[in-house]
Structure 1
Amino acid sequence: MYAEVILPLPLGATFTYRIPQELDGKVSIGSRIIVPFGRKKLYTAIVCGLSPIAPEDMQIKDVMTVLDPWPIVRHPQLRLWEWIGEYYLCSIGDVMKAALPAGLKVESETFVEVNPDYEEDTSARLTETEAVLLQTVDHHGRISVADLEHRTGITRTTQTVARLVERCALMISEKLVERYRAKRETIVSLAFPHDDTDSMHRAFDSVRGAPKQEQLLIALIDMLNKKRHEGRDPEVLRSDLLTSTGLSTAIVSALSAKGIIRITTREVNRFGFTGVATGTLPSLTDHQAEALDRIHLGFLKRDVVLLHGVTSSGKTELYIHLIDFVLRKGEQALYLVPEIALTTQLTRRLQKVFGDKVVIYHSKFSDNERVDIWKKLLHDNSPCVVIGARSSLFLPYSRLGIVIVDEEHESSYKQYDPAPRYNARDTAIVLASMHGAKTLLGSATPAVETYYKALSGRYGLVELTERYEGARLPDIEIIDMLDEKKRGRSSGSPLSMRLLGLTRETVDHGRQAILFHNRRGFAPVVMCKQCAYVPKCQYCDVSLTYHRRQDEMVCHYCGATYKLPTICPSCKEPAIDVFGYGTERLEDIADGAFGDAKVLRMDLDTTRNKDGYDKIITDFSAGKAQILVGTQMVTKGLDFAGVSLVGVLNADTLINFPDFRSAERAFNMLEQVAGRAGRRDDIPGRVVVQTTRPDHPVINFLREHDYKGFYAHEIEERRLYSYPPFTRVINIYLKHRDLSVVADASVRYTRRLQELFGNRVFGPEEPHVSRIQSLYIRKIMLKIETEASMRKVKAILRNVYEEFMVEKSLRSMIVYYDVDPN
């Protein structure tokens, strides 16, 4: 038999391996196996096909081993991988790499060790870097290249190691490394039946004279008897036994050596709900109950329904009722959210109703935790609801009944880098259809394409136009910052005098405020006051942002860090200063401006670890802080009962972005952040928006909370200029280290595409940031009809790629595609 397999590599093909006789019958579709690839590397592969027919004219290698006694990937998952690869124009290996938790991808790792026969050549002495690496390897023995780089602090060690191998100073080997470690617990039980009195007497006789052993034995018997009386399994965790007695593991081992107790270990899942579930569904208002009935009716006619409900209209209560309906049918539910932060509040709400049926999955979990959740869903088909971000789409569902995509308009659902560059909302619809499940899309500001499909009848449409329990939508006040400056009312800070006064008033009345500014760091501009020199990243064409907490300048594209210079590198004067405001600086300003008010900040820098979101949201919800400063994270579906004021510091940065979706993104984000205010009827909400363009259409529609008016304006713009939903956009990116190479190749590439696609091709152009990580970038836009076959488009694009890659000078050029860019 021969296995066709997927490898976690960006290669445009699957590969065939022979199944050796000793593995006959152990390999099936979805199995995880180890295969050799290339000259020395070993990879985890997923079997996607089996055949008794050997491929012709190919050298076939053998499967090395099977890692599991059962498939770890289900058939619908493999179909979804294939669809993502085909639609988003990437390799299925890229999809596999994104889909599987790292703990399930066993790979060989390169190790180095000193060659015992090495003698240094005095005529060609080692460089200092080579000597340090060799000395480190000699000290630690066999060591991985990654660990060697970490221990020495020397970056890009690969070339140095290669030179040392050439000089026979180091030897290289490959070793399989499995990163997943199962969580185990140790169980202690009696080695004889509890009612065997003779054995019991002998046990106590053997511990006479050893008071600690006797104490442990008595405690164990008491705990076992208590469990039997409660009808539970007669076994005790070693950790519980040691905690109750205060004794050490040595005493447990001594009793085991005497044959009195039995010690066993078992693998356990890292997750379990320890709270109390009420099982009580939230009550619904008349409007919500009517909307729920209309959703059920919509699902009878269509597989996808859009729930368009204003902010704080109670969409989550409807989601909970729908989840309950699905669970009662014995099926599973997937609840997608755009930000990991949202899982914190949602988990608590859902666990109160569904208890241990709630499963959380996102990228902030460790590899071990993610594998445990994967295994739980693989082996347990019982009803559950999974709350998660994009990556939860790839879990091994068996009986999926509904997929809920909350805040479906959010750009966070789009994966940008690396491939696959998929949209989780659209992929969720395909996933649901493959399982025969329904999809509910929910938003106060639906994506233009989604609302268009709902109005045209492709999706069902249900609307909630009132806030929960009659709360009013917040009043929106527009502050013209140019006029403020002319009138001399500038406060010298990013907060206008009006916003400063309202925030102080809000805090004094014991309420809370959110200050939204979509730029993190302390200051976005570092510049010399003498010669206007601006430090830039050496790898990217962007200026650096100053972060005061770490006292470094940071590139927000590649993450490179630099020390803030005291002397200007250009004019040699001590005139370097920082300008502008990021959330870090805004936090300091708020700290100083509002007396004793406690200020929290929510951005990428404060939420890097798994518990970062949880602590900030919990503390702010509990009223431990009065002001929350944040980036777009604070705009997305969070429910804070005490917030009565939202301040938007600079709406212009959202509106003035060079992209056909900029107006939509700006309106959605501003309306969503406005929706955080006044979510309870006893607290009137107010939103203050600072801008230099108060007459911009987006601002006018926002002032009236007029989504439908904005949609009508935007859809005509899209129709006029042939943008989605009237066409499908594919951006083609070319990257190369040599500017002249990528500039010339992009022009020729565009001409060739124009020969094949005609006037559907636009470009090439320099993107907003034209060099990232030392690679120069050019972009070509392809607009194609929505009914066009992606398979045919992919075939044409693949042929063009292959035409160009025969040129030696272009083989190192990177070409990739962004389908339906956000």
Structure 2
Amino acid sequence: MSERFADIILPLPLANSYTYKIPEELSESVKLGMRVVVPFGSKKIYTGIVRYVHAVPPKVSSVKEIIALLDNAPILRRPQLPFWEWIANYYMAFIGDVYTAAVPAGLKLESETTITLNSDFEADAPFSEKELRIYNALSDNKPHSIKELTRITGFKTILPTVKNLMDQGAVSLSEELRAAYKPKRLTCVRLADDVTNDEQLQTIFDLLHRSKKQLNLLMVYLELSRHLTKTGSREVSKKELLEQSGSSAAVFDALVEKKILHTYSKEISRLDSTQTALQPLAVLNSFQKTAYRSLLSQLKEKNVVLLHGVTSSGKTEIYIHLIAETLKLGRQVLYLVPEIALTTQLTQRLERVFGNKLGVYHSKFSDNERVEIWNNLLNDKGYEIILGVRSSVFLPFRDLGLVIVDEEHESSYKQYDPAPRYHARNAAIVLANMHGAKTVLGSATPAIESYHNALAGKYGLVELTQRHEEIELPKVQTVDLKEAYRKKRITGHFTDELVEKITLALSNKEQVILFQNRRGYAPYIECKQCAYVPRCPHCDVSLTYHKHFDMITCHYCGYTSKVPANCPSCHTPSLQTKGFGTEQIEEEIHALFPDAKAARLDLDTVRTKKGFEKIIRDFESHSIDILIGTQMVTKGLDFGDVSLVGILNAGNLLFYPDFRAHERAFQLMAQVSGRAGRKSKQGLVVLQTPETDHPVIRQVIAHDYKGMFATQMRERHDFRYPPYFRLINIIIRHKDAGVNNHAAALIADELKKLLGTRVLGPNNPPVGRIQNWYIKHILLKIENAASPDAVKEIIRNVVSGIQSDGRFKSLQVNYDVDPM
């Protein structure tokens, strides 16, 4: 048989796949999308994904072999590999970066690969000296990593020798390593095999008549298992039995020792599989019906349709009807949301209609849970709908029929670091096309680019202008912060008007949401004597003060320090806080409204899956009266009794140095305003700002999305921004500021020779150093008529030419296509 080779994608920042020889015994088994264990470099072993299988030997003197095949079937499905390749090409990322982002860590083995002895091995021939030393190093019967074996044996390269030992059957890759994903197991209990009738049970009761605790535990087991009923027995876990009986493990062990009870282990799911009572589809109101029919009609003509529906217009119910239609066709649905917090409420709504057909996928799940969801989809075990955040686009769908991108305007859909810096909305549209599926984008405040595409006819457009049950849009009342400070009509960060409205809402047993787009207690602390501000030693940012922990923290690299008692510069006790975050607002609320129950919803309070769920559940059940939050509270949450929303300083949103600042400010304020006024009454938004006459503030007050869109389109046209131009941001990093500046200048100069005025920079980003890496940006503005692939090739050639210079060996260059 002729030699066969496989091109393997490795989970490393590498542009190309690497060719390995397929061992003869695996020649018929290796297929596209399977995982294989391969050596890379002199000491490392990785799990790679088979990209191609062929008979063309690479043009190198020696070809490494695949060490092991990890699967009986591919872990990827059509069209995942082409989708990875599109992401890598469009977003100028390495295919290895896409693999790392796409596949759960539990399905990847990396450089800590461990080797173990095979206990039943018998040698046919003497070992070489090198083989013997490695074999002896493993003789303690513990798994050892390649790194450990290299240290123990003193050999510089051991992989070829380890491969020889594997070929002889002397050692193997550790089973623990092969299965980084471990199934969850449950210890269950049953009666001994020889207890088959009531007479034998009575004998056991007589035997235990002096052992009251054991007899009690046995009786509880029989009750739980329903052993004596006509319905037959059910499985009882050891944990449940001990909890229900109140018995100790020692009492349980005594019954096992007497061979009355036996234990056994079974594999269980980590995922909640409780079947809820299913409800029929809700009846759509007349406005929703009109929008739904229009959606169905336009989806026949267009692959993508934008549903522009005001807040609380009932878009979710329309989505649910679309999902039901798709499932009737036997196809799957991907429902994307921008934030994990949103999945909590949506899960309940979707489960009521679709039950266990729904799967949820996000980063707060453990790695083992994510592997389980991956495997369930791969093996067609029930999931027909996936509700998830941006990484859900990488799951192995059988046959997508519909993709819903809810709150499609949200910047959370964009992956910033690490690469690939993809946008899940745009990637989902491409994925849907690859499956022959349709995409629905939904938002009350669509992204400028999406609304432009809809008006231009590239997307379909359906507009829903009425709120559900014809509730009015909230009234927006502005309060001038400058006047409030001048007239001393402000307590802490609350104007008298806002305090009055909160008091009224609480007296009516209504709920309040307060929005402050900064977590922590204060953005920074400053010495009032010498103006010293504590800064991160690794990043060019001030440290944020967190009063609860009495710590100052960098929100970029995580550096944390205790707050100094005295100023480190002038040594006086003059440090004071400047600005304010959600933690300080919570403290002020407790002082102003001591009888109200308040809580925060930000990254500091919801670091776990259950943290999100608890706060949302408590607010829904009125265990919380006032919810203080960052952007998380703006994203489509649905609470029935929120009558008041307070935006504490809208001015902070307007002046960020970014061409999207006004669009984002409008979206944030409109979205958080939309949380007010549900069910039976019009809500109120109190918007504190020093800029009451700013055009964006006026547009928010009038709920004038189209006015904001028109203003932004004029500015974007005049200043060459999307949707009229494409943007590519080149991010250049080096540990030495001088080297970084020099390299950035050279790259910019070369690009300007080829691309002219399209190239801007190099510029300093808002934060010029992160984790001791100095950063420069070069921005390219490319007209839509230009070939993006040709421009990307020019960029790659220029950068690789600069990086080939020995002075810039350690230079890191990353690309952000369509930066947000």
Q: TM-score, normalised by structure 2?
A: 0.88
C-alpha distance in structure 1 between counterparts of 2:228 and 2:355, whole Å: 23
Structure 2 contact 521–546 (Cα < 8 Å) conserved? yes
Do the aligned partners of residues 514 and 13 (structure 1) sit closer, same or farther apart at CA in structure 2, a change above 3 Å counting?
same
1:515 aligns with 2:514: yes
Give 1:109's match in structure 2, choosing from 102, 107, 112: 112
**Aligned pairs for 1:723-742 within 5 A:** 723-742=721-740
Offset of residue 221 of structure 1:
7.9
2:379 matched residue in structure 1:
379
Give 2:77's match in structure 1, choosing from 74, 77, 81: 74
2:697 matched residue in structure 1:
699
2:339 matched residue in structure 1:
339
Q: Which runs of 5+ in 2 are unaligned?
A: 116-139, 163-172
1:457 matched residue in structure 2:
457
C-alpha distance in structure 1 between counterparts of 2:245 and 2:386, whole Å: 39
Secondary structure of the 1:694 match is coil
C-alpha distance in structure 2 between counterparts of 1:529 and 1:723, whole Å: 42
C-alpha distance in structure 1 between counterparts of 2:251 and 2:499, whole Å: 66
Structure 1 contact 381–398 (Cα < 8 Å) conserved? no
Do the aligned partners of residues 142 and 482 (structure 1) sit closer, same or farther apart at CA in structure 2, a change above 3 Å counting?
farther
1:717 aligns with 2:720: no
Offset of residue 142 of structure 1:
9.0
1:294 matched residue in structure 2:
294
2:15 matched residue in structure 1:
12
Offset of residue 640 of structure 1:
1.1
Structure 1 contact 360–386 (Cα < 8 Å) conserved? yes
Do the aligned partners of residues 67 and 792 (structure 1) sit closer, same or farther apart at CA in structure 2, a change above 3 Å counting?
same
Secondary structure of the 2:276 match is coil
Do the aligned partners of residues 571 and 359 (structure 1) sit closer, same or farther apart at CA in structure 2, a change above 3 Å counting?
same
Offset of residue 570 of structure 1:
1.5
C-alpha distance in structure 2 between counterparts of 1:399 and 1:605, whole Å: 38
Structure 2 contact 226–233 (Cα < 8 Å) conserved? no
Give 1:779's match in structure 2, choosing from 777, 780, 788: 777
1:501 matched residue in structure 2:
500
Structure 1 contact 111–142 (Cα < 8 Å) conserved? no
Letter in 2 for 1:473: L
2:166 matched residue in structure 1:
none
1:757 aligns with 2:755: yes
Structure 1 contact 165–171 (Cα < 8 Å) conserved? no
Letter in 2 for 1:817: Y
Letter in 2 for 1:819: V
C-alpha distance in structure 1 between counterparts of 2:674 and 2:144, whole Å: 51
Do the aligned partners of residues 584 and 40 (structure 1) sit closer, same or farther apart at CA in structure 2, a change above 3 Å counting?
same
Structure 2 contact 43–157 (Cα < 8 Å) conserved? no
What's the CA shift string for 1:21-47, capped at 9, x where partnerless? 232332211111211111111111111
C-alpha distance in structure 1 between counterparts of 2:548 and 2:114, whole Å: 37
More off after superposition, 310-319 vs 496-505: 496-505
Offset of residue 596 of structure 1:
0.5
What's the CA shift string for 1:28-80, capped at 9, x where partnerless? 11111211111111111111111122222252111111222221111211111
1:182 matched residue in structure 2:
183
Structure 1 contact 642–683 (Cα < 8 Å) conserved? no
What's the CA shift string for 1:701-733, capped at 9, x where partnerless? 111000011111111111111211111100001
Secondary structure of the 1:97 match is helix
C-alpha distance in structure 1 between counterparts of 2:21 and 2:154, whole Å: 35
Offset of residue 666 of structure 1:
0.6
Offset of residue 272 of structure 1:
3.2
Secondary structure of the 1:370 match is helix
1:53 matched residue in structure 2:
56
Offset of residue 340 of structure 1:
0.3
Structure 1 contact 330–383 (Cα < 8 Å) conserved? no
Structure 1 contact 203–260 (Cα < 8 Å) conserved? no
C-alpha distance in structure 2 between counterparts of 1:354 and 1:745, whole Å: 56
**Aligned pairs for 1:232-311 within 5 A:** 237=237, 264-311=264-311
Letter in 2 for 1:109: E
Offset of residue 190 of structure 1:
7.3
1:584 aligns with 2:587: no
Give the share of equivalent positions with the same residue, in percent: 48
Provide the aligned C-alpha RMSD in A: 3.3
Do the aligned partners of residues 71 and 594 (structure 1) sit closer, same or farther apart at CA in structure 2, a change above 3 Å counting?
same
Letter in 2 for 1:483: E
C-alpha distance in structure 2 between counterparts of 1:451 and 1:539, whole Å: 41
Structure 2 contact 91–420 (Cα < 8 Å) conserved? yes
Structure 1 contact 272–356 (Cα < 8 Å) conserved? no
More off after superposition, 754-763 vs 333-342: 754-763
More off after superposition, 667-676 vs 715-724: 715-724
1:745 matched residue in structure 2:
743
C-alpha distance in structure 1 between counterparts of 2:723 and 2:385, whole Å: 32
Offset of residue 220 of structure 1:
7.4
Offset of residue 688 of structure 1:
1.2
The alignment of Structure 1 onto Structure 2 pairs a total of residues equal to: 775
C-alpha distance in structure 2 between counterparts of 1:620 and 1:726, whole Å: 43
1:686 matched residue in structure 2:
684
Offset of residue 204 of structure 1:
8.6
C-alpha distance in structure 1 between counterparts of 2:234 and 2:592, whole Å: 62
**Aligned pairs for 1:191-270 within 5 A:** 209=207, 229-230=230-231, 237=237, 264-270=264-270
Offset of residue 245 of structure 1:
6.5
C-alpha distance in structure 1 between counterparts of 2:228 and 2:53, whole Å: 50
Do the aligned partners of residues 628 and 86 (structure 1) sit closer, same or farther apart at CA in structure 2, a change above 3 Å counting?
same
Structure 1 contact 111–172 (Cα < 8 Å) conserved? no
More off after superposition, 596-605 vs 48-57: 48-57
**Aligned pairs for 1:648-659 within 5 A:** 648-659=647-658
C-alpha distance in structure 1 between counterparts of 2:781 and 2:141, whole Å: 57
C-alpha distance in structure 2 between counterparts of 1:220 and 1:577, whole Å: 63
Secondary structure of the 2:79 match is helix
2:136 matched residue in structure 1:
none
1:632 aligns with 2:635: no
Secondary structure of the 1:611 match is helix
C-alpha distance in structure 2 between counterparts of 1:775 and 1:343, whole Å: 36
Letter in 2 for 1:107: E
Secondary structure of the 1:46 match is strand
More off after superposition, 75-84 vs 656-665: 75-84
Do the aligned partners of residues 21 and 558 (structure 1) sit closer, same or farther apart at CA in structure 2, a change above 3 Å counting?
same
Give 1:806's match in structure 2, choosing from 804, 810, 820: 804
1:65 matched residue in structure 2:
68
Structure 2 contact 676–684 (Cα < 8 Å) conserved? yes
C-alpha distance in structure 2 between counterparts of 1:289 and 1:583, whole Å: 40
What's the CA shift string for 1:669-718, capped at 9, x where partnerless? 010011111022x2321111111222221111111000011111111111
Structure 1 contact 527–579 (Cα < 8 Å) conserved? yes
C-alpha distance in structure 2 between counterparts of 1:253 and 1:70, whole Å: 42
Secondary structure of the 1:62 match is coil
1:321 matched residue in structure 2:
321
Structure 2 contact 8–51 (Cα < 8 Å) conserved? yes
Secondary structure of the 1:426 match is helix
Do the aligned partners of residues 172 and 556 (structure 1) sit closer, same or farther apart at CA in structure 2, a change above 3 Å counting?
farther
Structure 2 contact 42–157 (Cα < 8 Å) conserved? no
C-alpha distance in structure 1 between counterparts of 2:538 and 2:287, whole Å: 55
Letter in 2 for 1:668: Q
Do the aligned partners of residues 623 and 192 (structure 1) sit closer, same or farther apart at CA in structure 2, a change above 3 Å counting?
closer
Offset of residue 812 of structure 1:
0.5
C-alpha distance in structure 2 between counterparts of 1:248 and 1:489, whole Å: 65
C-alpha distance in structure 1 between counterparts of 2:261 and 2:21, whole Å: 48
C-alpha distance in structure 2 between counterparts of 1:735 and 1:360, whole Å: 37
Do the aligned partners of residues 111 and 562 (structure 1) sit closer, same or farther apart at CA in structure 2, a change above 3 Å counting?
farther
Secondary structure of the 2:100 match is helix
Letter in 2 for 1:671: A
Offset of residue 790 of structure 1:
3.6
C-alpha distance in structure 1 between counterparts of 2:204 and 2:610, whole Å: 49
What's the CA shift string for 1:257-298, capped at 9, x where partnerless? 999988654433211332522231112100001111111101
What's the CA shift string for 1:479-505, capped at 9, x where partnerless? 22223333x134242121211221122
Do the aligned partners of residues 34 and 472 (structure 1) sit closer, same or farther apart at CA in structure 2, a change above 3 Å counting?
same
C-alpha distance in structure 2 between counterparts of 1:797 and 1:9, whole Å: 22
